Chain A
Amino acid sequence: MAERVIKLMQGNEACVEGAIAAGMRFYAGYPITPSTEIAELCAEKLPALGGKFIQMEDEIAGMAATIGGSLAGLKAMTATSGPGFSLKQENIGYAAMTQIPCVVVDVMRAGPSTGLPTSPSQGDVMQAKWGTHGDHPTIALCPASVREAYDLTIRCFNLAEKYRTPVFLMMDEVIGHLRERVEVPNPDEYEVFDRLKPLPNEKNYKAYEVRKGEIVPRMAAFGDGYAFHVTGLVYDEYGFPKTDTDVAEKLIEHLMNKVADNDEDIITYEEYEMEDAEFFIIAYGGVARAAKEAVKECRKRGMKVGLFRPITLWPFPEKRVHELTMNRKKVLVAEMNLGQYVIPVHRVKMPDCKVFQYGKVNGEAITPEEIITKIKEAY
C-alpha cells in the first residue's frame, strides 16, 4: 500500500479534498461564513481539473445551479450555513422530488437569523430533516474530525449517487474551522460510486422507471440523447406530470422507501465504552469529542459511562438507540442547541431509561467539564 500523504488541514478544506476525490466537478454557491473556505477552494481547484465553479447571485441560485450541473452529468456540490440553508430549502425539495443527486454542505453557525455568524452551533439538525415542505427522504452525515470530514464527504456523494437524492454534510463550525493532522487516504482505500445510467442508445428509455432489482431509476444526463422531461410536479415513470392519486402515492412512497428500506446501508455510528455502560451520552460532531473526553474522565472515577456517536444523523439510528436504552438507566443528549436531536431519542427509548439533555446556544463549544458536571448531576 502506498504511503499516505500527511497534511495539516481544516475541516472545510478536507471537505473539498474529499469531494474532489469522490469525483465532484461542479460547484455553485454563494459566500457565507463559516463555510466560505469551501467555495474559495473550489474556485481555486476545480478549473485546473476541468471542473466548473460558479459564484451565483444568491443562495437559491447556488442550489438551483448545483441541481442543473448534476442533471447535465457532473457530480455537484454547494455549501452554506444557516441563513443560506434556509434559503436553499425549496430547491432542496426539488432535488428530492426529481431525484437529482447532489451534496449540500451546511457548516452550522449560531442562529436563528444572522445570530452569531462566526460561532459554532448544531441548530440546523432538525432543519435538515424537516426544512423543505412535503414528505421527502433525508440523508445527513456529521463528521467529528477533519479526517472524517474528508471521508464523509466521499460517502455523501456515494449515497447521493446511489439513492438519487440530495445528501447533507452537517458540519458544525468547530469541525469546519478546526485544523488537525490528516492522513489523506489513497484512492484504493475508499469506494467511489457513480450513478447508474441507461445503456447507450437505449430505446424507450423511461426516465423514472425503477428496473427490476434496482433501487432508483437510471439517470441519463441532458445531452446524452434522451429527450426526457423533469418536473417538480407529481410525475409518472416517463417523468410527465400526473394528478392521479395512485401515481402521487406511488411516487412519494418510492421517495421515502428507497431510503427507509436501505437504512442499514446508510446508517453508521460509533460506540465508545458502551459494553458495560449504565449511563451513556449521545453526541455528534464537535460535541462528540468533548463527550469522549468526559467519558474518559468519568471512567477514571469508576463511573460506568459510554458514548454513542451517530455519524449518520438522518435517517435516525432508531433501532440501535432503542436497543441501547433497553438495559441502561440514563442517557444524556449533549448538543449545541436547546434540544433537537433529543426529540427522536425520547420517541424511541425504552420507558425505564431516563433522558437528560444538555444544550448550549451562547456561541461557545460544549466542553468536557460541562458534560462531566451534567453527568454527575444525573448519574
Chain B
Amino acid sequence: MSQGSQLIQDNFRDNRLPHIWCPGCGHGIITRAIAQAIDNLNLDKDKVCVVSGIGCSSRATGYLNFNTLHTTHGRALAFATGIKLARPELKVIVITGDGDATAIGGNHLIHSARRNIDITTVLFNNKIYGMTGGQSSPATPYHEKGTTSPYGTIDPDFDICKLAIGAGATYVARSTAYHVPQLTKHIQKAIAHKGFSLVEAISGCPTYYGRKNKKGDAVDLMHFYKDYALDVKMAEKVDPEKREGKFLIGEFANEERAEYVDEYMKIVERLRQEGSQDE
C-alpha cells in the first residue's frame, strides 16, 4: 500500500495536475479514495479502465493513470459496457455525477444494474450541475435551490442507492468526502465485488450548491456531512428523534447474482463444445 505522494506518483498523471476543481470541492478527495482503493487491491494497472461521462466528476479520468475514457454526457456506463463485454479481463470503473448518471444517463444506470454487469460505478453526488453553473439535478434535495430552481425544486430527489438496488445492483453503498476511510473501504469492496456495484460518494460543492442554499463554505459542508451522516447499522439502534434530519451512509446491498459477461461466456463455451462435437 503506497502512501501520500507515492500514491499520487503511482496512480495519477501528476503532469496533468493541478486539477480543475474549485477550492473546497470534494471531488479530489473522492478521486484519491478511488486511487487508494485500486492501490490497496494491488490491481494490474494495465488492466484497469476508468470511464467517465460529462460534468465536474467526469474530469477525474484525465488525472488517473490507467486506461481512461472521457465520453459523452450520461453515456459512460454504455461505453463501459462495450469495453467490459469486449475485454472481460479489464477491471472497469465508471466515474459519474448525479446529473450525468441519474438524469441524462438514468436509462444506462438502471440497465447496467439489471444486467449485473461487472462494472463499479462511483457516483460523485454534489447535488447540483456544477460544470454548467449550478442548475438543480435529480439529486438536489426537495425544495432546495439551484439556478434553474430559484424558488426551490418542486420535484423530489432520487434516493440513488435505493434506485440502484431496485434496478438490481448487487453491491450498493454510500459515503461522503468527509468519511474517507469508509469511502475507500466501500470503493475497494465494490471493485472486488463480482457484478454491478455502485458507491454513492457525497461531495461538497461550496461554489454552487453551498452558496445557492446558504449552507456555508467547504468546511461548513464537511461539518454537515460529519454531523448529519448516520451509519445504516447504527440507524436501527438510535432513538427516532436522533434520526431526524439525518441521512444514511454505509452498505445497503451486498449479494451474489449471475453476472452478465459470465453468462454470455457460458453461451460461447456451450457453442464451442457443440461445434467441436459436430466435427
Contacts and interface: CB of A to CB of B under 8 A. Distances in A.
Contacts of A228: 67-68
A166 B258 CA distance: 34
B82 A66 contact: yes
Interface string A185-198: 00000000000000
Interface stretch (A70-78, A112-120, A136-144, A271-279): A70-78
A66 B61 CA distance: 20
B90 A69 contact: no
B68 A230 contact: yes
Contact of A48 (B62, B72, B80, B271): B271
Contact of A61 (B13, B83, B84, B107): B107
Among B16, B70, B81, B86, max chain A CB count under 10 A is at: B86
B72 A231 contact: no
A241 to B, nearest CB: 6
Nearest to B90: A223
B107 A91 contact: no
Contact of A68 (B81, B271, B275): B81
B111 interface: yes
Contacts of B85: 26, 28, 52, 54, 65, 69
A226 B75 CA distance: 23
Nearest to A58: B107
Contact of A222 (B45, B67, B78, B271): B67
Interface string B67-99: 111111001001111111111011000000000
24 contacts: A26-B86, A47-B264, A54-B264, A56-B81, A56-B111, A60-B78, A61-B75, A64-B75, A64-B79, A65-B85, A69-B82, A72-B86, A72-B90, A76-B86, A94-B72, A222-B67, A224-B46, A227-B66, A227-B68, A230-B68, A231-B62, A232-B71, A240-B16, A240-B62
Given A76-B82, A91-B72, 18 more contacts: A47-B264, A47-B271, A48-B271, A50-B272, A61-B75, A61-B81, A64-B79, A65-B78, A65-B85, A67-B82, A68-B51, A68-B83, A72-B86, A222-B49, A226-B67, A227-B45, A227-B68, A229-B70
**Closest 8 A-B residue pairs measured CB to CB?**
A68-B82, A65-B82, A64-B78, A72-B86, A61-B78, A231-B70, A57-B111, A222-B67
Interface of A: 26, 28, 47-48, 50, 52, 54, 56-58, 60-61, 64-74, 76, 90-91, 94, 221-233, 240-241
